[in-house]
A = this chain, B = another copy of it.
Amino acid sequence: MVESVWFRAPRPAREAPLTRARIVSEAVALLDAEGAERLTMRRLAERLGSGVTTLYWHVRTKDDVLDLALDEVFGELDRCPAPPGWRAGLVRLLSDWRAVLLRHPWSALLLGRRPLLGPHALACTERLQALLVAAGLRGPELMASSYALSNYVTGCVVNQVGWRTQDEPAARRAADEHLRAHAEHYPTLAEHLDVLDADWDGSFARGLGYLLDGITARLGSSAAGADTLALE
C-alpha cells in the first residue's frame, strides 16, 4: 500500500481549542434553537466539531453544562441598565429578570433543579437585595421581601412556560373547551377566567404592583410591625 504525504490530506487545522466558554455558549444556542429535551452531549459535541468524550474533559456532567448555561442567561441581566429610584429600579430589575427567562424558556425549567449559585445569578440577587436595603428594609422583612419578589418572578415564569411547551393557542383552546365542558364543577372559573386571551405581561405588572405596595406599606410602620403580621 503506497504511503506518501501527498496522498494524505493535511490534518485539518485544529479548531479554536475547546473551552468551557465555547461549550457553554454553544449549549445556550442549541437550547434556544431546539429546547431542553434536544440538548444531548452528542449533539453538542457535534456542533462543536469535537468528540463526545472531549466535553467530559472540560465538564464533569451534563448537569454542569446546564448550570453554566443557566448562569449565562442570568448574565444578560447584567447588561440591563437601572433607572434611579428604588421602586422603579425594582420594577425594572424584576421585569427584565422575567423577560430574560422567558426569552430562554428552557431556563425556567431548570429553576427548581438546583440552587442558583452562579456568579451572574448571585449578582442579580445582590442587585435585588441592594435595592431593598436602599428602600429601608432590614432583617426578616428584608429577607421576606427579597424572597417574595424573586419567588414571584420564578412562579410567573414557570407557570407561563408551562403553556409554551406545547402549541400554545391549541393548548389554550383545549383548556377553554375542557373548562366549559365541566362548568358545573368550576362555576367561578367558567364565569371569570378567560383562558383564550390571558394577558401575561399585564398580569405580571399588576401583581408586582400589589406586592410592592404591600412591601411599601410596611416601610413606615416597621417599628410597630411585628404584630401586624398576624395572618388569620
**Chain A: residues with CB nearer than 8 A to chain B?**
83, 87-88, 91-92, 108-109, 111-117, 119, 122-123, 125-126, 129-130, 133, 138, 140-148, 150-159, 161-163, 165-166, 171, 175, 178-179, 182, 185-189, 192-194, 198-199, 202-215, 217-218, 229, 231-232
Contacts and interface: CB of A to CB of B under 8 A. Distances in A.
A211 B208 contact: no
Counting chain B CB atoms within 10 Å of each CB, the highest count among A158, A199, A218 belongs to A158
Contacts of A157: 112
A148 B210 CA distance: 9
Copies of the chain in the assembly: 2
B231 A193 contact: no
A34 B125 CA distance: 32
A16 to B, nearest CB: 29
Contact of A188 (B133, B186, B207, B211): B133
A114 to B, nearest CB: 6
Contacts of A213: 213-214, 217-218
Contacts of A218: 210, 213
Contacts of A166: 114
A115 B175 contact: yes
Contact of A154 (B83, B159, B189, B205): B159
Contacts of A138: 192
7 contacts: A114-B166, A122-B185, A125-B193, A151-B155, A155-B156, A208-B231, A217-B217
A162 B115 contact: yes
A215 B210 CA distance: 5
A185 B118 CA distance: 12
